[in-house]
A and B are shown apart, each in its own frame.
Chain A
Amino acid sequence: MTQLVQNLVDGLGQGSIYALLALGLTLVFGVMHLVNFAHGELITVSAYVAYALASWGAGWGVIAIAMIVTSILTAVAIEFLAFRWVRGASEFTMLLTSFGVHFVVAALFVMYVSPRPRNIPKPEWIFATVRIAGITFEVFDLVTIAVTLVTLVATERVLRRTMFGIALRAAAEDFDAARIMGVRSNLVIRGAFALSGVLAGVAGVFWLMRTGTASPTAGLTPLLFGVIAAIVGGLGSLGGAILGGLALGLIQVFFRSWLPSDLAGLTEGLLFVLIALLFIVRPQGFVTVRRAERA
């Protein structure tokens, strides 16, 4: 029982990070039909900013804020420099563009910083534990879950209560119809990238606190899980993305905990087998997304 609750919290903590990434990916996919494989670069770039700040002695409070701001700016810059030019192109063209952005960013860090990972001191409290009702929890998991919850509620508010949010949801459902209503393409596309930057920024902070390294491909692993979570969730469904992220985190933790130790290395492999099975049973993912016919 104790073990189960611990795994649950651990899985939700892990899954929170994936959920934030998947939600950002889904927001961008909604307005552009782009599966953005350059989404991990938001974490990579902000991890280097964190490294620079840490080496000047900045604390994690400053670093966290700087990472989120960097992530937003990077998202908007990538949209402006790369994706703006392939708007309306085939999904394959956009996919290749996003791979291109990933490789260019990684190459820039290899050339101008170093191919070797840079270490950033982890905050001390991430190793702390707390006992609640006789069960020991990692403080880090609880903080991740709490901050994610606050971020998700705030995002939900923006999407439901602001004109920008309503326009974004309208454009995700039927982009041309939104334009007919007077929604400006630039507004929703840049807005979606900026919002995905906020979410990736928050995810990046927790990811970096846990891994403690900035490297040219630092964003690749979280990106991959984010993409999978978004697809598992039904690609285009905001709730599905969150669900997909949490499910992914939980499955990962439970596999690691239940598999015999000599098989633990197969966690990721088994995870993918499970995902393959899901798609055989439910090819549309957890949540079915209604898509407008393209005129």
Chain B
Amino acid sequence: MLSVDGLTTNYGSIAAVRDVSIHVDAGEIVGLIGPNGAGKSTLLNTTVGLLRPTTGRVIVEGRDVTGSSPDTMLRLGVALVPERRRLFADLTVQENLLVAGITVSAGERQRRLEEVVELFPLLGRRRDFPAGYLSGGEAQQLAIGRALMSGARLLLMDEPTLGLAPALVDLVFELVVDLRSQGRTLLVVEQNAGRLLEVADRAYLMRTGSIVTEGTGHDLRSRHDLFEVYLGVEA
């Protein structure tokens, strides 16, 4: 579904992502883990066209889409749920969802809006609330709801559990599994590596801009050495 091939992205003269190649197949949950500053967010941002790669290619379903703008990527079915959610706090819940459906026709947008509200009844009750007033859990639902508005089949999620209470973290991981069972594909960046590897089919471990290792979620979970060395946490 998605493959990234030899991608390098520079911030000034520093390569934040260096010669990275990953692939995500349809129906998979793929994890991307690694310490802060490993380049995980940069990799996602480059993939959706927010940043331009210095070298390398981004391929979606066999098409080379390197350097395409985010709206083109959305039309191809690739959506990003950005780090820290980036909700439009002054816009209402409904407006947040509508703007996320800007790439689809008006009728389609309205239909999807109803679908998302059905999926997240809490959001339905707060439709006309400014998004800035939502609680952490509601805000995360809105962030994911926005990605669904475009009808994306591949969701790139950047730290979806950041700043959430433990009970809500469970909810997010349940949702990730639910989305996959609805036929969507997910590439998830997480600090919470242990939890992600429980649900991920495969995962990549990234450090200082490069992929260090990859394997199935199960394999990586049993590699205690990696956890200590690269993440500095107990698995």
Interface residues of chain A, those whose CB is within 8 Å of chain B, are 163, 166-167, 169-170, 173-174, 176-185, 290, 292, 295
Contacts and interface: CB of A to CB of B under 8 A. Distances in A.
Given A177-B88, A182-B70, A170 B48 contact: no
B86 A163 contact: no
30 contacts: A163-B98, A163-B102, A166-B95, A166-B98, A166-B99, A167-B99, A169-B95, A170-B91, A170-B95, A170-B96, A173-B89, A173-B90, A173-B91, A179-B69, A179-B70, A179-B71, A180-B70, A180-B86, A181-B100, A181-B146, A181-B150, A182-B70, A182-B71, A182-B75, A182-B103, A182-B150, A183-B102, A290-B89, A290-B132, A295-B83
A199 B95 CA distance: 24
B71 A184 contact: yes
B74 interface: yes
Contact of B50 (A167, A174, A176, A290): A176
B80 A180 contact: yes
Contact of B99 (A183, A290, A295): A183
B56 interface: no
Interface in B32-62: 45, 48, 50
A260 B88 CA distance: 50
A174 B88 CA distance: 7
Interface string B147-187: 00010000000000000000000000000000000000000
Interface in B112-170: 132, 146, 150
Nearest to B71: A182
B86 A167 contact: no
A170 B90 CA distance: 8
A163 B106 CA distance: 9
A292 B86 contact: yes
Contacts of A177: 82, 86-88
Given A177-B88, A290-B89, A295-B45, 10 more contacts: A169-B88, A170-B91, A173-B88, A176-B50, A176-B86, A180-B80, A181-B70, A181-B102, A181-B150, A185-B69
Interface of B: 45, 48, 50, 69-71, 74-75, 80, 82-83, 86-91, 95-96, 98-100, 102-103, 106, 132, 146, 150
Given A163-B102, A167-B99, A180 B90 contact: no
B99 A178 contact: yes
Given A177-B82, A178-B99, A182-B74, A166 B91 contact: yes
A16 B75 CA distance: 42
Q: 7 smallest A-B Cβ distances: which pairs?
A: A177-B86, A182-B103, A182-B71, A182-B74, A181-B100, A170-B99, A170-B88
A167 B91 CA distance: 10
A182 B97 CA distance: 12
A174 B100 CA distance: 13
Contact of B102 (A167, A173, A290): A167
A292 B90 CA distance: 11
Given A169-B90, A173-B89, A180 B102 contact: no
A166 B92 CA distance: 10
A93 B191 CA distance: 38
Nearest to A293: B84
A198 B103 CA distance: 26
A180 B99 contact: no
A109 to B, nearest CB: 38
A143 to B, nearest CB: 33
Nearest to A184: B71
Nearest to A185: B69
A183 B98 contact: no
B43 to A, nearest CB: 14
A74 to B, nearest CB: 28
Contacts of B70: 179-182
A181 B85 CA distance: 11
A129 B50 CA distance: 58
A26 B74 CA distance: 29
A178 to B, nearest CB: 7
A174 B50 CA distance: 13
A141 B87 CA distance: 42
